[in-house]
């Protein structure tokens, strides 16, 4: 069985079309995601494929950050996130 490694991916992509493409790529493989941060457990080969696909989407000044996490790392999610209130909602806190 291939060994899986924990990692976080985050992106800063300003182009809407490219950002949607990156989002689709990451949602395919992420266990948990919050806006533009994705928790993934992938094989080394799957990480390489994902990184290549994401690299093709980037324009100058944009970035994807990949953070490899140690195998014994505890990952916890605090809270349940916020659900959209409606199509034209604004939340001020």
Annotated binding site: 12
Q: CA 37 to CA 10: how far, in whole Å?
A: 4
Burial 62-75 (b: 16+ CB within 10 A, else e): eebeeeeeeeeeee
Positions at the binding site for Mg(2+): 12
């Amino acid at each position: 069985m291939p060994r899986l490694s924990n990692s976080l991916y985050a992106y800063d992509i300003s182009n809407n079309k490219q950002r949607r493409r990156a989002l689709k790529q990451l949602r395919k493989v992420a266990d948990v995601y919050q806006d533009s941060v994705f928790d993934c457990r992938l094989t080394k080969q799957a990480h390489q494929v994902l990184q290549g696909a994401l690299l093709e989407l980037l324009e100058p000044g944009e970035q994807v950050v990949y953070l490899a996490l140690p195998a014994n790392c505890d990952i916890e999610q605090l809270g349940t996130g916020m659900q959209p209130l409606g199509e034209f909602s604004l939340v001020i806190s």
